[in-house]
C-alpha cells in the first residue's frame, strides 16, 4: 500500500486525485475528518485519520504501507511533525519514504534564511540518518500561491509584491502531483532528489500580464517594500510569525533576483509543463473573485 500524508492540503490532495485518475489504490492520511470533502468518494482512495504529531494515532494509517509520501504544512511545527512521522514510519516497517520538500527557483537561494526551507533541510538530515531509504521532491513556488493575491487583484487591480524585477519560476501543483505519482508508483528512485520548477522564469510584471489576459482586465504589478507587504499580510489576517517568515523569504528572493528553470523531472516522467498563462486561464474565475480556491472541489 502507498500512503500520502497531508491529504487534505494543496499538494497532498492533488497527489491523491492523481492516483484516483489512474485507478491506482492509495491511502490518504487526514488529520481532520470534517475537511475530507469528496476525497473519500474517489475511486481507490482509502481515507484514514491520524495526527503525524501523535504516533499512537498512526497505526491504522501505517499498517501494511510499503511506501509513503510525507507532506505537512510549512508552519512552525513542520520539523517536529515530520521527524515524528519518520520515526513512526520506520517503526511500522515502511520501506521507502518520499519527502515532499521545496527548492526556491532563485539562483543561490540560501535555505537557512527562511524558516520552512531551513526545517526541510533539518528533516532531510534526520531522514537520511534514520537509515530509511528516501527520495526528495523539491518543487519551486506553487502557482497556486497567487490565489492569495486575489483580494488585491479584485479590489485594486494590482499585484502587490516586494520583488522589484526579481524573477520566479512557479510550478503548477498539478505538475508536481503527476511527477509524485510517477515516483511513488515505479521503482528505482531511492536516494534521489527531484527538483522541479515551472517552464518560465517570470518577473511579477510578466505574471501580472498573464493574469490580465486571463481575467480580461488590466492587472498592474506594483513593487512594494517588504515592510509594506508584511502590513498587507497582517491586515489579511496572517498570524504575525507567518507574516514575518514570508517577509524573510521575499527579502532573500529580491536580494538575489534571478530564477532558473528546471524541467528535468518533467522530461524524465513525461509530464507536460503547465505555463502560467494556461494556469491563470484555467483558474480565471478564481482570479476574478467569482469563485474560491478549494483543495476539495465538488
Ligand atoms: N507554498 C509553496 O509555494 C511551496 C513550494 C514548495 C514546497 N512547499 C512545501 O509544501 C508543503 C505543503 O505546503 P502547503 O502550504 O501547500 O500545505 P497545506 O495545503 O497546508 O497542506 C498541508 C497538510 O498537512 C496536514 N498536516 C499538518 N500537520 C499535520 C499533522 N500533525 N498530522 C496530519 N496532517 C497534518 C494539514 O492538515 P490540516 O488540513 O488538518 O491542517 C494539511 O492538510 C510544505 O511542507 C511546504 O514547505 C510549499
pLDDT of residue 295: 67
Cell numbers found for residue 150: 486575489
Q: For a pocket test of ligand 1, which of 6, 35, 180 has the largest count of ligand atoms closer than 8 A to its C-beta?
A: 6
Query: What is the residue extent of each domain of the chain?
Result: 2-140+171-197+260-273
User: Over 50: is that where the pLDDT of 55 sits?
Assistant: yes
Alpha-carbon gap, residue 72 to 88, rounded angstroms: 15
pLDDT of residue 298: 31
Residue pLDDT, tens place only, 198-220:
999 999 999 999 999 999 999 99
Q: How many CB atoms lie within 10 A of CB 221?
A: 19
* CA 9 to centroid of ligand 1, rounded, Å: 6
pLDDT tier for residue 174 given thresholds of 50, 70 and 90: very high
Residue pLDDT, tens place only, 137-163:
999 999 999 999 999 999 999 999 999
Residue pLDDT, tens place only, 83-122:
999 999 999 999 999 999 999 999 999 999 888 999 999 9
pLDDT of residue 210: 98
Question: What per-residue string of b and e applies to 52-78 under the rule 16 or more CB within 10 Å gives b?
Answer: bbebebbeebbeebebbbbbbebeeeb
Residues with CB under 6 A from ligand 1: 5-6, 8-12, 31-32, 35, 51-53, 71-74, 81, 100, 102, 116, 139, 141-142, 145
Q: Are 183 and 189 in contact (CB under 8 A)?
A: yes
Alpha-carbon gap, residue 264 to 117, rounded angstroms: 21
Q: Are 109 and 252 in contact (CB under 8 A)?
A: yes
Cell numbers found for residue 196: 522541479
199 by DSSP, 3-state: which? coil
Alpha-carbon gap, residue 240 to 55, rounded angstroms: 29
Fold of domain 2-140+171-197+260-273: Rossmann fold (3.40.50)
Ligand 1 nearest-atom number relative to CA 52: 32
Amino acid at each position: 500500500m502507498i500512503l500520502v500524508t497531508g491529504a487534505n492540503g494543496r499538494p497532498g490532495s492533488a497527489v491523491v486525485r492523481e492516483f484516483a485518475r489512474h485507478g491506482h489504490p492509495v491511502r490518504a492520511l487526514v488529520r481532520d475528518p470534517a475537511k475530507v470533502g469528496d476525497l473519500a468518494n474517489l475511486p481507490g482512495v482509502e481515507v484514514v485519520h491520524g495526527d503525524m504529531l501523535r504516533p499512537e494515532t498512526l497505526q491504522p494509517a501505517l499498517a501494511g504501507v510499503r511506501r509513503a509520501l510525507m507532506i505537512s504544512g510549512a508552519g512552525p511545527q513542520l520539523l517536529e511533525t515530520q521527524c515524528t512521522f519518520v520515526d513512526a514510519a520506520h517503526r511500522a516497517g515502511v520501506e521507502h519514504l518520499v519527502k515532499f520538500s521545496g527548492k526556491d527557483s532563485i539562483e543561490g537561494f540560501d535555505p537557512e534564511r527562511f524558516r520552512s526551507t531551513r526545517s526541510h533541510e533539518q528533516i532531510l538530515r534526520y531522514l537520511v540518518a534514520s537509515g530509511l531509504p528516501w527520495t526528495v521532491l523539491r518543487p519551486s513556488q506553487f502557482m497556486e500561491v497567487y490565489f492569495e493575491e486575489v483580494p488585491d487583484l479584485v479590489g485594486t487591480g494590482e499585484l502587490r509584491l516586494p520583488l522589484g524585477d526579481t524573477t520566479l519560476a512557479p510550478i503548477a501543483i498539478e505538475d508536481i502531483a503527476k511527477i509524485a505519482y510517477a515516483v511513488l508508483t515505479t521503482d528505482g528512485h531511492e536516494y534521489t532528489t527531484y527538483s522541479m520548477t515551472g517552464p518560465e522564469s517570470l518577473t511579477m510584471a510578466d505574471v501580472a500580464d498573464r493574469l490580465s489576459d486571463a481575467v480580461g482586465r488590466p492587472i498592474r504589478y506594483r513593487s512594494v517594500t517588504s515592510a509594506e507587504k508584511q502590513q498587507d499580510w497582517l491586515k489579511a489576517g496572517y498570524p504575525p510569525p507567518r507574516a514575518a517568515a514570508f517577509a524573510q523569504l521575499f527579502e532573500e528572493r529580491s536580494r538575489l533576483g534571478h530564477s532558473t528553470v528546471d524541467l528535468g523531472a518533467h522530461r524524465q516522467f513525461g509530464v507536460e509543463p503547465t505555463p502560467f498563462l494556461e494556469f491563470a486561464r484555467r483558474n480565471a474565475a478564481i482570479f476574478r473573485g467569482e469563485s474560491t480556491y478549494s483543495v476539495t472541489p465538488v
